[in-house]
């Protein structure tokens, strides 16, 4: 995120299908909106849960296992 905000004039954060926040990178970094804050500061804890440990990658990709 720190590199991306150096390249843009405006930032839009979408959460649950709606715009949770929009503004300059500085405005968005200072936002108190929980969705915007979690995203802009790359925080694992916030309104969008971080699931650890995650499911196995094969499960995510729909792979059932090695071929017999």
The total number of structural domains that make up the chain? 1
pLDDT in tens, 2-57: 788 889 999 999 988 999 999 999 999 999 999 999 999 999 888 888 776 677 88
Range of the domain at 49: 4-61
* Confidence (pLDDT) at 50: 76
Q: What pLDDT does residue 28 have?
A: 95
Q: Is 10 helix (H, G, I), strand (E, B) or coil?
A: coil
Has residue 54 been placed in a domain?
A: yes
**Does some domain include residue 12?**
yes
> Which pLDDT band, with edges at 50, 70 and 90, does 1 fall under?
confident
How many helices (DSSP H) and strands (DSSP E) are in the chain? 3, 2
Nearest of 1, 42, 35 to residue 17 by alpha carbon = 35
């Amino acid at each position: 995120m720190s590199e991306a905000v150096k390249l843009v004039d405006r930032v839009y954060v979408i959460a649950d299908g709606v715009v949770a926040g929009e503004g300059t990178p500085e405005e968005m970094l200072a936002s108190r909106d929980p969705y915007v804050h979690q995203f802009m500061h790359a925080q694992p804890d916030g309104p969008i849960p971080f699931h650890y440990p995650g499911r196995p990658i094969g499960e995510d990709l729909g792979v059932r296992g090695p071929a017999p």
